[in-house]
């Protein structure tokens, strides 16, 4: 456990990734700037190329606020980092993210930092998918597209959207 972050252990780790792979047809792109998931419906995918640290910080705050507003303080969010550890976290708990000696977070943020980062509700219905090589942030699900998606529209350019109300 890292702060309020609880590591997913086997077999849950594999079960969660298998479900994600199946639902989103996840196909790693080998570092190429291509979509890595089938765009969920509804979803909004944003271009995160060259965003400033200030905007990146706003995106992180907006994502936490949206998860809390949409699902309440008791929601458990799955946080997946492709080919690395995965976690459960409750955004309602004060859980400062520990930083490594290089200044980078020890657990995945919403914005990708060199790998695919996913933050999703346990049912995989609402969440975010960060793609470092497209580079993009996909916000998916009926609740998050209305809250986080519409908020991010004022900060970031939209690359794609599907079935957004």
pLDDT bin (cut points 50, 70, 90) of residue 121 is very high
Beta-ladder partners of 160: 45
Residue 67 sits in which domain range? Answer: 6-26+40-162
Asked whether the predicted pLDDT for residue 72 surpasses 90, the reply is no
In 3D space, the residue among 120, 157, 159 whose CA is nearest the CA of residue 141 turns out to be: 120
**Has residue 22 been placed in a domain?**
yes
Tens-place pLDDT, residues 9-32 = 999 999 999 999 999 999 988 888
Asked whether the predicted pLDDT for residue 3 surpasses 90, the reply is no
**Has residue 31 been placed in a domain?**
no
Within 10 A of 33 (CB to CB), how many other CB atoms are there? 13
Within 10 A of 92 (CB to CB), how many other CB atoms are there? 17
Counting residues of the chain whose pLDDT is more than 70, the rounded percentage is 87
**Has residue 34 been placed in a domain?**
no
pLDDT at 26: 94
Residue pair 111/139 in contact (Cβ under 8 Å)? The answer is no
Beta-ladder partners of 99: 105
**Has residue 79 been placed in a domain?**
yes
**Has residue 1 been placed in a domain?**
no
**Of 29-33, 89-93, 148-152, which range is least confident?**
89-93
Count up the domains in the chain and report the number. Answer: 1
pLDDT at 104: 47
pLDDT bin (cut points 50, 70, 90) of residue 76 is confident
For the entire predicted model, the pTM comes to: 0.89
**Has residue 112 been placed in a domain?**
yes
Instruction: Print the SS3 string covering 71-103.
Output: HCCCCCEEEEECCCCCEEECCCCCCCCCECCCC
In 3D space, the residue among 131, 132, 160, 123 whose CA is nearest the CA of residue 145 turns out to be: 160
pLDDT at 43: 97
**Has residue 73 been placed in a domain?**
yes
Asked whether the predicted pLDDT for residue 103 surpasses 70, the reply is no
**Has residue 33 been placed in a domain?**
no
pLDDT at 133: 92
Asked whether the predicted pLDDT for residue 153 surpasses 80, the reply is yes
């Amino acid at each position: 456990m890292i702060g309020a972050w609880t590591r997913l252990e086997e077999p849950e780790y594999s079960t969660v990734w298998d479900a994600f792979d199946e639902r989103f047809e996840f196909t790693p792109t080998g570092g190429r700037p291509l979509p890595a998931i089938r765009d969920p419906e509804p979803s909004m995918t944003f271009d995160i190329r060259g965003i400033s640290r200030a905007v990146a910080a706003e995106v992180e705050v907006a994502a936490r606020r949206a998860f809390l507003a949409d699902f309440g303080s008791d929601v458990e969010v799955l946080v997946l980092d492709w080919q690395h550890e995965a976690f459960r976290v409750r955004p309602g708990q004060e859980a400062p993210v520990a930083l490594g000696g290089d200044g980078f977070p020890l657990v995945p943020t919403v914005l990708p930092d060199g790998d695919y980062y996913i933050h999703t509700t346990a049912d995989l219905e609402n969440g975010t998918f960060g793609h470092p090589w497209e580079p993009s942030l996909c916000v998916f699900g009926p609740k998050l597209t209305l809250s986080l998606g519409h908020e991010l529209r004022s900060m970031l350019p939209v690359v794609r959207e599907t079935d957004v109300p």
